[in-house]
Structure 1
């Protein structure tokens, strides 16, 4: 019982990280109905960009505290460039096709991006640990955590809050919800659906890249890291309900707490626990916890 505070703290930290990597995926599916298999590679692209640009920043002797801004700048640049190229160069020619076709197209894109990352950065690991250790640690009773972990929670809350505010409170967000509900009616009303698709996909790629950039100081950046992440991201959005932002947040919390409990009480079941939770949820809620009502056209 004395491990419960540690389980909760570890679970919340891990859930924050999960939400960061899943937010872009659920945004793209919610608007465009594209299950983006390349999301993991875009996450990896953000991590590599952050490690490279951050390493160059420190190598030139600039303030290490500026490396936090460099992380975000690198992610935004990488995500913006990749999002525009992919959406304008590939996806816009495939709108209206079956979701399975789009799934296969993004899977092919995943394979291409993985090879391009190896060509650009090689196969050796990149290390950029300075931002993680720079802020020191915090103590909560008997628990000691790096301050960077609390920064991770703050970033997840800011991104989640900003996305929710944009969708519910801004004119663009309200128009986007119209596009989500019915693309054909949106076009008839004069809404530039193509522009909304471009903006949405680019925002999703930027979110994926930010997730990778924030993670880069915590791990070694290596080839294949995106493939591992996409499985967890899919688990989160499937549990919460495809396309649901509150569902992604709740799914991240459920997976985070479950995984933390497994680590503390049954370490050999850590990986299995994630899929067990997903299976249990899907048995009772096949479309996820926050699955929206489907519109039927006659």
Structure 2
């Protein structure tokens, strides 16, 4: 029972982390049909910005609990600001191009941002452990778990609910769904597609940066972390179906539980099992489990 509990908790925490990262990636693809390779760099930017702000905040001797506001606020400001520069300064000139071209363009942005992050923050690791330790630990059945990890699960649930409500219960969300279904008809009906694209990209970049900030207290922030995480995010969205928020959730749960099971039972296949699951899903359902249906144009 202890091992089962450990697998469930570790799998849920890892799945929550994966979902937060993948939600922004799949949202951007669903609306803009851009497989955003630079998403990993927004994750890294959020981690570096949040860690740097937390380090500065605690050096001032301020109230410790407000470090969470500093952590999240710095990441969101950095992610949205850089996201606006990327979308308005580059991507808007590329809309309508082939998806392969957009992959190459966003990959170039990834490389540029990785070097820009090194120039801005250096190559030494950053540590922002204070928020992680402040929440303490809880014990269940003789096992100790960090309360910060449970908070991460709660944040992923809130993000999922916010995205669902925004897409299905608000006027702007309904306009967004029209653009997803057919951007040409949406433009003909008077919907400002360019504005929708900008807002979508900023939301996706902000979620990516938020994921990095929430990850920073649990590990050391080092160069190259964005490139590592984008591969896992792609695996999740491919399993769930590109462009589907619910698919990203299911994909994250599948990958999270598969990895946790491997770590506790067969640690030597930890990395392999993620891609084995992806290959198995694609073998029987190449479009992913919850792929968004595309309207056939005549």
Classify the secondary structure of the residue corresponding to 2:154.
helix
Q: Tell whether the 8 Å contact from 2:181 to 2:294 is kept in structure 1 after alignment.
A: no
1:116 aligns with 2:116: yes
State the partner residue of 1:137. Answer: 137
**1:292 to partner: Cα distance:** 2.0
1:287 aligns with 2:287: yes
State the partner residue of 2:68. Answer: 68
Classify the secondary structure of the residue corresponding to 2:145.
strand
Classify the secondary structure of the residue corresponding to 2:138.
strand
State the partner residue of 2:160. Answer: 160
State the partner residue of 1:180. Answer: 180
Q: Tell whether the 8 Å contact from 2:2 to 2:141 is kept in structure 1 after alignment.
A: no
Deviations 1:129-178 (A, max 9, x none): 00000111011222210110011001000001000000000000000000
Dislocated runs of 4+, deviation >4 Å: none
State the partner residue of 2:240. Answer: 240
1:15 aligns with 2:11: no
- TM-score normalised by length of structure 1: 0.99
Structure 2 gap segments, 5+ residues each: none
State the partner residue of 1:39. Answer: 39
Q: What does residue range 74-153 of structure 1 map to in structure 2 within 5 Å?
A: 74-153=74-153
Work out the CA distance in 1 between the residues paired with 2:42 and 2:6.
32
Structure 1 gap segments, 5+ residues each: none
Deviations 1:86-129 (A, max 9, x none): 00000000000000000000001100000001111111001110
Work out the CA distance in 1 between the residues paired with 2:272 and 2:187.
45
Work out the CA distance in 1 between the residues paired with 2:17 and 2:78.
19
Work out the CA distance in 1 between the residues paired with 2:5 and 2:119.
44
Deviations 1:216-259 (A, max 9, x none): 00010000000000000000000000000000000000000000
1:215 aligns with 2:238: no
**1:2 to partner: Cα distance:** 4.6
- TM-score normalised by length of structure 2: 0.99
Q: Tell whether the 8 Å contact from 2:37 to 2:107 is kept in structure 1 after alignment.
A: yes
Comparing 125-134 with 137-146, which one deviates more in the overlay? 137-146
Work out the CA distance in 2 between the residues paired with 1:144 and 1:195.
47
Classify the secondary structure of the residue corresponding to 1:3.
helix
Classify the secondary structure of the residue corresponding to 1:125.
coil
Work out the CA distance in 1 between the residues paired with 2:51 and 2:197.
29
Work out the CA distance in 1 between the residues paired with 2:293 and 2:207.
26
State the partner residue of 1:278. Answer: 278
State the partner residue of 2:201. Answer: 201
Figure out how many residues of one structure are paired with residues of the other and give that number.
298
RMSD of Structure 2 on Structure 1 (CA): 0.8
**1:203 to partner: Cα distance:** 0.4
Work out the CA distance in 1 between the residues paired with 2:3 and 2:277.
21
